Amino acid sequence: MKNSRVSRPWRIAAVGLIAGTVLLSSGCGHGDKSPSWQGGGNGNGSGVNNSAQADGGTASATPSPSPTPATVAVVSPKSDATGVVAATEVKYTSEDPENTSVKVTDDKGEEVKGTLDKDDKVWRPEKALAYGTKYTVTVNGTASEGKGGTTTSTFTTMAKPSKVIRVTSFLGDNNVVGVGMPLIIKFSRAIPASYRDDVERRMTVTASPAQVGSWGWISPTEVHYRPKEFWKANSKVFYKVQLAGVPLGNDYYGKSDLTVDLKIGRSFVMTVSNKTKQMTVKQDGKVIKTLPVSLGKPSTPSSSGTMIVMEKMRHTVFDTTDTDPKNGYKTPIDFAQRITWSGQFIHAAPWSEGKQGKVNVSHGCVNVSEAMGAWLFSRTMMGDPITVSGTEEKLKQGNGWTDFNLSWAAWKKLSYL
């Protein structure tokens, strides 16, 4: 049965663009300062006010004002709570948050690494807590104008779950990719729609230089991230997915976290016009080559839209006999670069060189000469974009990495935030 959003005992609050907070049911506690007495002793331990004796008055001790209660409290997890999700965070109250500290220790007394958000009054662990472990939270408010105090609270995390969802990244550390490359995250099981906003808040992307971007759900098991426009050339990109211990619906939890540190290469953008039958190649914004092409003939048109180089093969064989035994073909191909899942490629086609720049004769591919196929192949990388315009057929969304084929407004609608 699908878990309902409102029935969850925890929720995630947005922090910045894509940060996460898991909240549990709340509780609070207060501590009191011990009472004290004013009026110093006279050296003989009597505690009598000397000036009062000198005036002949009756000596007395004057009590202080009522004790000031502690003004800090742990809101969640609730004190002595058990079965707490390992991805929990600590929420507290304080009248003086700037001078309040939070410390979390495990059952061995070792401090847990985390960050403190004093604006939201939330302590966030650096990584998921250990399963089946008791933790102690100490919130200390420095005394300031009557505000302060210290309180402690304990909670115990849930047992290790048997139902987990694996998270994988298509890209890895130190990859260098083109300016059109989306960041691709896949899940081993479908994420219910009501949990996808929670997932997004726990996936953070940091680019240098900074660039606006957004996650978009391609399917229940796949989510991509793209910037508003192509990545800036030579950017550094780091992304983190923190889903270890996070509830993902139907009693499933995230299995682990992951991080990826990669680089965007130079800008290499290909543009093809069906009207002129020419490809224009720009590198870092400057035209470096214009070459003739032949696109798909009317019965097998090329797709118009923005596609991405997804795969490169120096030599391969195109074989369509399985799907079309009567009219299929089996042809050796050089310098093939896949741009759609349906089988459209940029590739060398020496048999159509006399037609390139004049008429379309391909089965949907972008045909170039043997020499130009080699030239392109030596310069492109995975993630380089190609935009084709003016053909009889529009690119179908999802037929390849079509993230940049959508407008920015349309892409943002694929996010659950």
Residues taking part in catalysis? 347, 365
The closest alpha carbon to 11, from 242, 194, 244, belongs to: 194
Q: Which of 185, 244, 102 is nearest to 403 (CA)?
A: 185
Separation of alpha carbons 297 and 320, rounded Å = 17
Helix or strand or coil: residue 141?
strand
- Starting at the edge strand found earlier in the chain, the sheet holding 167-169 runs 167-169, 183-187, 222-227, 213-219
Residue 114 phi, psi dihedral angles, 5° rounding: -170, 180
Q: Could you tell me the two tokens for 238?
A: 């780091």
For residue 386, give the amino acid letter.
I
Residue that the structure tokens 């707490």 belong to: 84
**Nearest-angstrom CA–CA distance, 286 and 294:** 24
Phi-psi region of 374 (alpha: psi -120 to 50; beta: other; left: phi over 0): alpha
Q: Quick one: how far is CA 102 from the chain centroid?
A: 26
Could you tell me which of 69, 35, 68 has the C-alpha nearest to residue 151? Answer: 69
Give dist(CA 401, CA 385) in Å, integer: 10
* 132 in Cβ contact with 85 (< 8 Å): no
Our CA angle for 139, 141, 147, nearest 5°, is 140
Q: Which of the 8 DSSP states describes residue 36?
A: -
- Are 219 and 28 a contacting pair, CB within 8 Å? no
Buried b (16+ CB within 10 A) or exposed e, 68-105: eebbbbbbbbbbebeebbbbbbbbbbbbbbeebebbbb
d(CA 37, CA 61): 7
